[in-house]
Chain A
Amino acid sequence: MMQADVSSLTRRRLLGAGAALAATAMLPSGARAQGAQFRRWEITDPAMPPRVLASYKTGISKMLALPPTDPRNWYRNAMVHLFDCPHGNWWFLVWHRAYLGWLETTLRDLSGDPDFALPYWDWTKTPSVPQAMFDGVLDPNNSGFIPTFDEFSAQFRPVVTTLYASFSQDQLGVLNDRGIATADDFMNLLPQVFFDQPSARGLTATNPDLDSDTRVAVSLPTIRSSLRTTQFAGDGGPNDPAGFASAKAPNHSAGSTKGILESQPHDNVHGAMGGGGGAFMVQFYSPVDPIFFLHHGNLDRLWDVWTRRQTALGRPTLPQGPDLDAWSNEQFRFFSNAQSQPVTQTNAGSYALPSVFGYDYSPGSGEDQVPAAGPVIASNPQVFSGAVLSERVGSSRAAGGTVRVPASALQAARADAGPRVAEITLNLTHEDLGRRFRVLVSPTPGVAPLAAGAITIFGHPHHGPVTFTVPLPNNLPAAGTTGEVSLDIRVVPIGNSVRPALAAGAAPTAPLVSGIKVRTD
C-alpha cells in the first residue's frame, strides 16, 4: 500500500513547487499530472473504472462496521469535521484537502483496492445528485447507516466521553474556541446535526435536482468568477476582497470573509442537499453523507485549477511573505491515518499541493480558465446609460441624447476586444413597420457626427419598446483622450420615414426614443 509521504514538506519546498506546477500547467486534458499515482475521476465520466464506486462502497461498509472506539469508524471520521473544520477563512481549502486525503488512504487500505481514489462530483456539469450516489451505502438513508439519533447516542456517548478525556490541551483549546469544550457540550450539539432516516439526505433518486439558486451558485459564470480571483486570500478587513480561498483569520476556528468559491458553490450545495428540509449535508456532521467527499473533491479540484491558472499567468499560488508562514504553520490536530494513528503532518503547509497524496483529477468544469502561455488581457464589459434629451423623431428631426463613458472604456485594448455598441430603445407602434433610421455619434456634443449604423424596422409587427444594437465607430474617442467622453447619440430618419401619426400633426402617444445605453467589452 502506498503511504503518502508528507512529512518533509517545508517552506522551501512550497516555494519551489511553483516550478513543478509550471511544468504541469499545460498538460493535455487526458494526461496525468507529473508524478500522480492516483486519479480522482468525475463520477459521471464514462471513462471512470467501475471499481472506483465498488471500492468506495466496500470501504464505507468496512468503516461503518468498525467499533465506535476506532478512529476509522465512519461516524468517528465525520466527528473530526465537527471538532476541527475551518470555514470562512483561508484554511478552508487546505484543511479539507487533508481531510479527504487521509480518508482516501484509509479507504484504499480497507477496500483492498491499491489504486483507489475518491471520485468527485462536478456539479457545474451535473447540477443534480448523480444517480450512482443513491446506490447502497453511498446513500446515508441505506440500512448500513445508524437510522436514529437515539441508537447513535447509545453507541457513541461513552466513546465521546473517553475521547474528550484523551484530548491534548492543544486539542481542547480548539474545541473551546468552537464552543464544544466538554463532552457534554458536544453531545448536546449532536441532536442538532444528526438526521434520522429517511431525512439523512433530503434529495432523492426521483428528486435529485439542485434548486434554482444553487444552480446559479454552481454555474460556469460563477465558477469562472471564482477562478479569476487573483489573490489566494484577502486581508479580512470589512472592505477587503476575500480572495480565492477565503480571507485571513487569526486561527482556523475563527471566521473571516468567505470567497466566492466558499460562499456560493460550497455553501449552497450543502444547503441544497436537504431538498428544503433537513439532511446531514446541511450541518457540520455532513461527512456522514458519502457525497460530502465528492462535493469537496470538486472544490479541491477547482483549487488545483486555480493554482495551475495562477502558475500559467506567473502569479502567486500561495500567501506571500510572512503570510505564508502564518498560513503554513497553522496546526491541524485531529487527523488520523489508515493505521488509526494520529498523523505527524499537522502543519497546514504540508497539504499545499495535491501531490502530497499523489492524486490528480480528470478534467472538469473551469479547466478552460487555465490559459495558454502568453499574456492575457482581462475582459471588462461595462454598461453606461444615457439621458434622452430629445424623444421624438420628426420628419427631419433627430432624437437621442448623451451617454457619459470613460475614454478608457472606448479605446480598444486588444485586437480581439469585444464590440462597443450603442443600445437604443425605440417605442414602436404597428405603423412603424418599414421605417429606417440612421444612428449618428459625436464624441462631443456639437462636433461633427460619425455614422454608426442604421436601424430598419422589419419583420413581424412591433408594438412597444424594442432595443436595437448598433456598433460604435472605431475612432471614438480621439487617441490620447482621457477622462470621460460625452457621446452624443442621435437617431435620424432616413428618406420618407415619417411616422404617420407625427406627419398628421397629432401628438405621439409614446416617446420614440426611450433609452440609450453604451455597452463595452
Chain B
Amino acid sequence: MKRILSTALLLAGLNGCWTSMSLAQQAKSFDLSASRQPSNGETIELQIVTGPLPPGAKVVAMTAQGQALGAIVPYALPGRDKGSTVTIAVPPTALVDQHLHLQLQLVEPGKPPRAPDKDEVRGVNLVLSPGP
C-alpha cells in the first residue's frame, strides 16, 4: 500500500504558481501542506526533485523564518547528472498548522545567491514517512 498520503506538490515552475520573491530574487518560496495529520509515529519529509545544477552549485533549503533545513549537493558522474530526488528531514517545529513555508536558494561559487529556475528545481513535495 502506498504510504504517502499527503502531498502539496508545488511544481511551481510547471503550474505557474511560483510565489513572488523578495530579496532581489534570491530565493524561491513555497507553501507546502500535508493533506492530513501525521499519526502513529509518522514523520514528514521534504522531497525535492532537481535537474542538473551548475558546476559547484548547491540548493539550500530553509524555512521562511530562516531555519536551515538542509542542502542539496549534486554527486554524480560528470556530464551524466540528470538530476536527482533527495530527501530532507523536516523538524516538526518547522511546520505551522501542518504547513511548511519553504525557501530554496541556489548558491554558486563566486556568484550571489539566487532563486533556482524551473529546470534546476523541478518539484517540491511533502511526504509522510511510515511510523513504527
Contacts and interface: CB of A to CB of B under 8 A. Distances in A.
A383 B86 contact: no
A263 B87 CA distance: 6
B97 A216 contact: no
Interface stretch (A40-48, A229-237, A389-397, A424-432): A229-237
A384 B92 CA distance: 11
Given A264-B87, A382-B92, A383-B93, 10 more contacts: A87-B76, A179-B79, A189-B79, A213-B60, A225-B43, A239-B9, A268-B70, A378-B132, A385-B96, A408-B37
B75 A87 contact: yes
Chain A: interface residue count, which band? Answer: 35 or more
A24 interface: no
B60 to A, nearest CB: 6
Given A87-B75, A274-B56, A260 B80 contact: no
Contact of B88 (A263, A271, A377): A263
Interface string A222-259: 10011011110001011111100000000000011111
B54 interface: no
Nearest to B132: A230
B97 A240 contact: no
A264 B43 contact: no
A267 interface: yes
B78 A189 contact: yes
A442 interface: no
Contact of B89 (A221, A230, A271, A377): A221
Given A241-B3, A255-B84, A216 B68 contact: yes
B102 interface: no
A471 interface: no
A264 B89 contact: yes
B2 A240 contact: yes
Contacts of B128: 241
Q: Pick the 7 closest A-B CB pairs, nearest first.
A: A225-B89, A271-B73, A378-B41, A263-B86, A213-B71, A192-B78, A241-B129
Chain B: interface residue count, which band? Answer: 35 or more
A519 B47 CA distance: 25
Interface of B: 2-4, 7, 9, 37-39, 41-43, 45, 47, 49, 56, 58, 60, 68-80, 82, 84-89, 91-93, 95-98, 109, 123, 125, 127-132
A51 interface: no
Nearest to A268: B73
8 contacts: A179-B77, A239-B2, A239-B47, A264-B70, A267-B73, A385-B97, A406-B37, A408-B37
Interface of A: 82, 87-88, 178-180, 189, 192-193, 212-214, 216-217, 221-222, 225-226, 228-231, 235, 237-242, 255-260, 262-264, 266-268, 270-272, 274, 276-277, 282-284, 313, 315, 376-378, 380-385, 406, 408-409, 517, 519
A485 to B, nearest CB: 13
Of the candidates B68, B85, B92, the one having the most CB atoms from chain A within 10 angstroms of its own CB is B85
B69 to A, nearest CB: 7
A186 to B, nearest CB: 11
B109 A178 contact: no
A228 B43 contact: yes
B65 to A, nearest CB: 11
B129 A381 contact: no
B7 A88 contact: no
